[in-house]
Structure 1
Amino acid sequence: MHTAIASLEYGLTPPELPDYRPAEQIALNTDGWKQDSAWFQHASQGTATLPIPYNWLMALEEPKFSPWLIFWGEEELYTGDYLLRHGFIKQTATSGNPDALPIGLATTPSIYFPGINRKSTAIGFSCAACHTGQLLFQGKRYIIDGGAAMTDLGLLTKSLGAAFGQTVLSSQFPLFNGRFDRFAQRVLGLNDNILTRNQLKQELSATLRYLAKNSDVINVTEGFTRLDALNRIGNQVFDTALNRSANYSAIDAPVNFPHIWTTSWFNWVQYDGSIMQPLIRNAGEALGVEAYVDTTGPDSQRFASSINYHNLIEIEEWLAGKHPRQQQKFNGLRAPQWPASFPTIDHQLKTQGENIYREHCQDCHLPPVSSELFWTDKYWKKIKYIENGEKKTTEQTYLKLNIIPQEKIRTDPAQALILAKRTVDTTGLNLDTNICTPLNEQLNFVTFRDSATSSFALALGAFVQRTNLQWFKQSFTDESQINRLEGSRPNCLQAGQGYKARPLNGAWATAPFLHNGSIATIYDLLSTQEERPEVIQLGNQEFDPERLGIIQPNDKLNCIDVTQDKHSNYDDGLFLLNTCIDGNRNTGHIFDDNPAALGKIGPKLSHEQKMALIEYLKTI
């Protein structure tokens, strides 16, 4: 009994969250969009990321800090400032967003909910949920379209579970059930009566039971700004959608939400340079944030999904713009420029930093996008591949990125190993389809066949391809249009190549750094391993314009501190990232004079050299 009560109390107790700080909002990089960015911020991908119907979410009150207090007093609505404390960005009500949902949340009609055994309007993540950044500076909040989100989805899961669970508990009492009473009035409206209330109670309880069976195993806490996206996509596609629990993998390789300007023109995307085709990337992401897909129907209709392909394709067109080489500048979503309201750039120091960049950074991260050299044939290449024995080449050129092998860069390997090492059971799914992968140093199409130990990388590419092909069929898409809708690139996958080095345009606004977000500032990124903090704090949105990154507390913690009983993963609602844990390591990409330093990419930089390079990075 004691254990059951303790478990109930844990599930119904919300996490501690940082306070929300209201501030004037300033959009930094909206000039490249086709129209107002509000559409991008709330365009549905066809997902049901939050596990309860939309009208339930809007009726839910924020949780009491203790479940034993649910019988007294009314709380503010969950979707008010409380939701913003998870790192979401406030929005005002508009015709396209009548309930003033934060950036990144979108509604999708007619989604089936197992708990209530019927369809309802769902609430899910839009592309902007993970790819809209924010930073606070001198009392103003700067919004960065396409930037790294500062949300914490683990805290969102726990707080939503507590708020929902407290409402379910309230519904079980004949008296002192004010929390459920108010919830029922908001949900049922004019249809509020004893019969509909009893039905609502049953649906609440059934949904809670369903959710209790589908909780994640977290080996490495993600925290603010990070998500183990690849493992979560794999779990959603090959466990949840297939109802095949043997395919589940624990969450253990979080990555920083990536910024996405310029990305549309890369030859390979993802931190590990594993995916080539835009539609595969985007549809896979939609499946990962819980778009529905049918895996059990007859083969002719299998892989039908709720993905909103019209929006996915338009979003990609927004991001990409027209091919940039003719004008020698990107014309879709553009990197943010250093605001005039920020500290003035020291141009003499910036010139020194430009020389340091050219000497130590350019070989991997390419010349700055403003230079003529960046736009030459040296860096822009057509993609060559073999299909059915025939050599083919894409019509357009794409930016050829350097993918640095793990044995050279020595950053945390966890994310790069997911696609290379994970296997999934696809037996009976009939994924059989042609996909492209490197063979004998060439990209070659092969036929993927189901297996009990399928390569996760190839299985995921095949699964998403089948889902895309099913939509083309159902929407009567003309064959002549398919290549364009796919982004004019083949569906190529590769695994275990290392980590890609992307151009650094706008990098000043993308903290934290390294693929796993284990370094809070560019200053620390340019340092030796010994100089880097072992523990960093994430969730604070205050910008450090001097060191370029997230303001850190004066009192430095080490790994031992955060493993003692007096500390947990969080302190005052902010996440403490322990870099001594696999998946969180801040190793590699080192500037050091020690020839034995692992992941060394350059000599040790003086404080003056670091500051000069930082000054230059503010300008590109």
Structure 2
Amino acid sequence: MKFNHFGLLLLLSLVGLSSCADKELPELQAVQKVVWLDQNWDDDQRQWFHYVSQGTSSFFVPYEWFIALEQPGLSLFSKKLIVDGDFLERLGFIAGSLGLYNSANLPVGFAVDHAATDLEGKPYRAIGLTCAACHTGQLNYKGTGVRYDGGPSMISANKLMSTILVSMLETYIGQRQFKRFAERVLADQYSDEGFKELRKEYTKAFMFLVNQLFQSISIQNQGIINKDIEQGRESKVLVDIVKNVKANLAQTEGYGRTDALNRIGNQVFALDAERPENFVIPNAPVSFPFIWTSSWFAWVQYDASIMQPMIRNAGEALGVGALLNLNKDKSNNFASSVHVMNLYAIEKSLAGEAAPFEHRQFSGLRSPQWPQNILGDIDQQKAAVGEHLYKQYCQECHLPPVGSSEFWNEQYWSVKNAIGTRLLDLKLFSTELIGTDPNQAAVLADRTINTIGMGLATGVFADAECAALNVTDDAKANFALSLGAVVQETVDLWYSKNGIPSEQQQEMNGYLPNCLRATRGYKARPLNGVWATAPFLHNGSVPNLFTLLSPVSERPKQFYVGNLEFDPILVGYETGKRSGLFLFDTTKNGNSNHGHEFNNTQNKGVIGPLLNVAEREALIEFLKTL
């Protein structure tokens, strides 16, 4: 089957040669100065977190290729590179600076592993995204950039991948452009023989990317499209696929969001496993969550679906492009490039050494405090009124304020790990009750995959009771359990190969079992630092705190996302139309802004009475203090 032939045609049809040209990116949002907020990390801890490798190869090309790719837009003459100037900042990435952990001068969240090897042991220099790319926030106010770790970023990962694909396509078809590329990559080792060898490797890698991108096309459709192309006629099947994918991409994700669960599933079970039938089009986008204090939650993820921190972190690394072998007939089945020890170190840095319940405070990374010297003073009189409103309408779900004596009540810290350390057991609310968009909560419950031949025979634990369960290969396997089993096999193989003693494994696993569940609900987490986490609701469908506290009828149905300029009154980013921003349409699938509503109605998702404007303003002032 000539998959590469129509794959290239579909690539051209889908992204076009100018899909990521400058005109489609927002202007650079320049600031006069940058301030990092104090969150209990020193500069060395912060820099290490920004650039430590998780073993990912997110762009499927080696480092020296990535830094040699030109910005999209065919030209006979040399152009700026993707890594030049402010291009990546316009995709939402935070500019980095040269230093011990960033010798390549890349943005926050780009890690270079100079000693990487592929699954066959071949050395190369890998480049990939880290958790810092998605979990480092910035807001701008009157010329000052305010940055904080652990907060949601405003990157557009899909625009970055589209940029790389278009650049690679232009480099592939443009002779002069490929020669410029080869001169950069080979440098003083350039020769005719080296050029030919690089061309072979590039073609192989590019076709691999094309194949990966379009594994979602069924074998039957591949045959129909290929036949249409060979007979010189327009392929209706191809046209329909392009229209459907474009329509989906037009409303999915954008700045500051990703369909994390479905994309991890696609990477592991469709791409790594080479199973096109396991591919689904993303339809459950979520905002990048804020991760301060989350190391001490008994259950993590928006849907409270994972208990063990190592499973959560290794699963994230696999979803962001760590290499993985999934084939029971290969001797290195479940071998991966995941840097398990780095994941453990990242978790320790986030969590801190001291158990919070015993010390009545969080160590590790703490939530940022509202910078009054930059964003303006908190109105203490309004905040005092807001505190009463918080106790009346918010505290039952989101717990008392972190730091208050009530917060450290044992009833909230009822779960213990294997060594007796207490964890926060957050309340879970069904989508039927809370009324917010149900797509993300349904992914783990509804998605099934074909795992035949992957070699799963894995003991895990399931549901709130953490009952022992054996996961095996199945043609219609449960996604949640299968993903947890694959990640566990991957981590366990690394432990075995590296001779990690059982006691140390327990510590690296957080002294918690690999317990998994599909909840069809969302957890209510503490609201410390919530002021720095716009847009709101799990899918980012509400732009600011004021509209979150307003009836659904007063929430905007459409608004623009990607502007970092902050509104300290409404507490959220400015949402007016600007070139290159993402139009968030709440009427689209996965984008509902309903639920979590204060209103005097019996509508689904109403959680409290209608708040007048003064009450909303008072509650916002109090939330700034958290």
The TM-score, its normalising length taken from structure 2, stands at 0.89
Q: Give the secondary-structure state (helix, strand or coil) at the position aligned to 1:189.
A: helix
Give the CA deviation at 1:141: 1.0
Residue from 475, 480, 484 that aligns with 1:461: 484
Of the structure 1 ranges 427-436 and 354-363, higher mean CA displacement relative to structure 2 is found in 427-436
The alignment status of 1:213 with 2:211, answered yes or no, reads yes
Gaps of 5+ in 2: 217-244
Q: Give the secondary-structure state (helix, strand or coil) at the position aligned to 1:207.
A: helix
Give the CA deviation at 1:327: 2.3
Q: Which AA in structure 2 matches 1:418?
A: V
Count the aligned residue pairs.
Answer: 581
The alignment status of 1:600 with 2:606, answered yes or no, reads yes
Following superposition of structure 1 onto structure 2, how do residues 83-122 of structure 1 map, counting pairs within 5 Å?
83-109=88-114, 119-122=123-126
Residue from 23, 26, 48 that aligns with 1:39: 48
Following superposition of structure 1 onto structure 2, how do residues 188-207 of structure 1 map, counting pairs within 5 Å?
188-207=186-205
Following superposition of structure 1 onto structure 2, how do residues 483-562 of structure 1 map, counting pairs within 5 Å?
483-553=506-576
Q: Which AA in structure 2 matches 1:330?
A: F
Q: CA RMSD in A?
A: 2.3
Following superposition of structure 1 onto structure 2, how do residues 147-166 of structure 1 map, counting pairs within 5 Å?
147-166=151-170
Aligned to 1:180: 178
CA contact (8 A) 1:30 1:37 kept: no
Report the Cα distance in structure 1 between the residues aligned to 2:492 and 2:333, rounded to whole angstroms.
Answer: 10
Residue from 67, 70, 79 that aligns with 1:74: 79
Aligned to 1:21: 29
Give the CA deviation at 1:110: 5.6
Aligned to 2:359: 327
Give the CA deviation at 1:142: 1.1
Of the structure 1 ranges 214-223 and 418-427, higher mean CA displacement relative to structure 2 is found in 214-223
Aligned to 1:558: none
Report the Cα distance in structure 1 between the residues aligned to 2:330 and 2:201, rounded to whole angstroms.
Answer: 33
Report the Cα distance in structure 2 between the residues aligned to 1:8 and 1:191, rounded to whole angstroms.
Answer: 37
Q: Give the secondary-structure state (helix, strand or coil) at the position aligned to 2:91.
A: coil
Aligned to 1:563: none
1:231-277 CA-partner distances (Å, limit 9, x unpaired): 01111111111111111111111100001001000011000010010
CA distance change for structure 1 residues 424 and 383 in 2, over 3 Å: closer, same or farther?
farther
Report the Cα distance in structure 2 between the residues aligned to 1:186 and 1:138, rounded to whole angstroms.
Answer: 40
Of the structure 1 ranges 218-227 and 337-346, higher mean CA displacement relative to structure 2 is found in 218-227
Report the Cα distance in structure 1 between the residues aligned to 2:357 and 2:44, rounded to whole angstroms.
Answer: 22
Aligned to 1:568: none
Q: Give the secondary-structure state (helix, strand or coil) at the position aligned to 1:37.
A: helix
The alignment status of 1:610 with 2:616, answered yes or no, reads yes
Aligned to 1:337: 369
Give the CA deviation at 1:109: 4.0
CA distance change for structure 1 residues 329 and 33 in 2, over 3 Å: closer, same or farther?
farther
CA contact (8 A) 1:272 1:500 kept: yes
Q: Which AA in structure 2 matches 1:192?
A: Y
1:140-160 CA-partner distances (Å, limit 9, x unpaired): 111110010110011111112
The alignment status of 1:246 with 2:277, answered yes or no, reads yes
Report the Cα distance in structure 1 between the residues aligned to 2:358 and 2:41, rounded to whole angstroms.
Answer: 16
Report the Cα distance in structure 2 between the residues aligned to 1:214 and 1:243, rounded to whole angstroms.
Answer: 9
Aligned to 2:261: 230
Following superposition of structure 1 onto structure 2, how do residues 235-274 of structure 1 map, counting pairs within 5 Å?
235-274=266-305
Identity %: 42
Q: Which AA in structure 1 matches 2:533?
A: T
Residue from 371, 388, 400 that aligns with 2:425: 400
Aligned to 1:572: 579
Report the Cα distance in structure 2 between the residues aligned to 1:235 and 1:493, rounded to whole angstroms.
Answer: 19
The alignment status of 1:588 with 2:595, answered yes or no, reads yes
The alignment status of 1:56 with 2:65, answered yes or no, reads yes
Q: Give the secondary-structure state (helix, strand or coil) at the position aligned to 1:94.
A: coil
CA distance change for structure 1 residues 418 and 8 in 2, over 3 Å: closer, same or farther?
closer
Q: Give the secondary-structure state (helix, strand or coil) at the position aligned to 1:329.
A: coil
CA contact (8 A) 1:111 1:121 kept: yes
The alignment status of 1:348 with 2:348, answered yes or no, reads no
The alignment status of 1:447 with 2:470, answered yes or no, reads yes
Aligned to 1:291: 322
1:491-530 CA-partner distances (Å, limit 9, x unpaired): 1111034100000000000011100011110111111010
Report the Cα distance in structure 1 between the residues aligned to 2:572 and 2:614, rounded to whole angstroms.
Answer: 18
Give the CA deviation at 1:361: 0.3
Report the Cα distance in structure 1 between the residues aligned to 2:121 and 2:504, rounded to whole angstroms.
Answer: 38
Give the CA deviation at 1:9: 9.3
Report the Cα distance in structure 1 between the residues aligned to 2:346 and 2:121, rounded to whole angstroms.
Answer: 32
Q: Give the secondary-structure state (helix, strand or coil) at the position aligned to 1:610.
A: helix
CA contact (8 A) 1:79 1:101 kept: no
Give the CA deviation at 1:604: 0.7
Q: Return the structure number with greater helix share.
A: 2
1:406-463 CA-partner distances (Å, limit 9, x unpaired): 110010000000000001111122211111112xx63211112221111101111111
The alignment status of 1:305 with 2:305, answered yes or no, reads no
1:375-403 CA-partner distances (Å, limit 9, x unpaired): 1101101348xxxxxxxx65211001011
Q: Which AA in structure 1 matches 2:93?
A: F
